[in-house]
Amino acid sequence: MGERAAKDALFDGFAEVAKALASGRRAEIVDVLAQGERSVDDIAEEIQQSVANTSHHLRAMARAGLVTTRRDGTRIFYALASDRVGELWSALRDVAGDHVAGLERLAGAYLGDRDGIDIVDRQELAARLKRGEVIVLDVRPTAEFEAGHIPGAKSVPITELRRQLRALPKSTEIVAYCRGPYCVYADDAVRELTRKGYQARRLAEGFPEWKRAGLPIEQGNGSGT
C-alpha cells in the first residue's frame, strides 16, 4: 500500500466514529447511555423509535466501537464503550452550540423560555450539599438514577413530581438535575416547583458532567429512595 493510500485508510478509519454518530437519533442514544446502561427496549422508548430501528442504530455504533453489549436472558443491554465516548458527545454538543447557526433557536423551541429558571453550578451545589443546606432531586427515570446519581439525591422522576410534592418541605431550597444542559426534565421540575411556592433551581448541567468533574457519585437505590 502506498503512502497516500495508507494515509487515506487511516483517516477513513478515524472517520468511522463520525459516521457512526451521523444521525440525530444516534446522538440521542449516546445522551441516554451517558446516564448508564440501558436495554434496547428502554432505549427505543426513550428515543421514540421502533425496537428494530433502534437496534439498527446500536449495531452501527457497536461496529465503530462506541458501545458494548451484554445479554441477560432474552434482553440485550447496551452501554458506552468508555467514558471517552461520553466526553466526545459533550465536545460535539459544545462545538455545535458555538458554531452551528440556528442551534440556539432550535434549543429554545425544545426547552422553552428559560428566563425564569435560576441555575446553580456544580461547585456551589457540592458545597451546599456538604452543609446540608439543600434538597437535591434527580428527575431522570429511575433506571438512570440507579445507574448513578449525586449522593443524597432523591429519585423523583419528572412523571412523579406532582404526586410527591407534599413530601417536600418549603423551608429548604430544592435543586433539580437531569441528563445535561439540553435536558428538559429539570426545567419542567423547576417550573412546577416554583408555581407551587417552592424555592427551586436547576443544576447548570447534569449528572454526566458532575461525574466527569470527579465529584462523588452513588449507584443503586441510594439513600434518596
User: Catalytic residue numbers?
Assistant: 178
| Surface-to-core class of residue 24, CB atoms within 10 Å of its CB (0-12 exposed, 13-18 middle, 19+ buried) | exposed
Cα-Cα-Cα-Cα dihedral of 136, 149, 155, 203, to 10°?
Answer: 40
Can you tell me the distance from the alpha carbon of 52 to that of 156, in angstroms, rounded to the nearest whole number? 30
Using the Cα atoms of residue 57, residue 63, residue 68 and residue 72 in order, give the sign of their dihedral.
positive
| Surface-to-core class of residue 150, CB atoms within 10 Å of its CB (0-12 exposed, 13-18 middle, 19+ buried) | buried
The helix (run of H) or strand (run of E) holding residue 201 is: strand 200-206
Residue with cell 428515543: 47
The helix (run of H) or strand (run of E) holding residue 143 is: helix 142-147
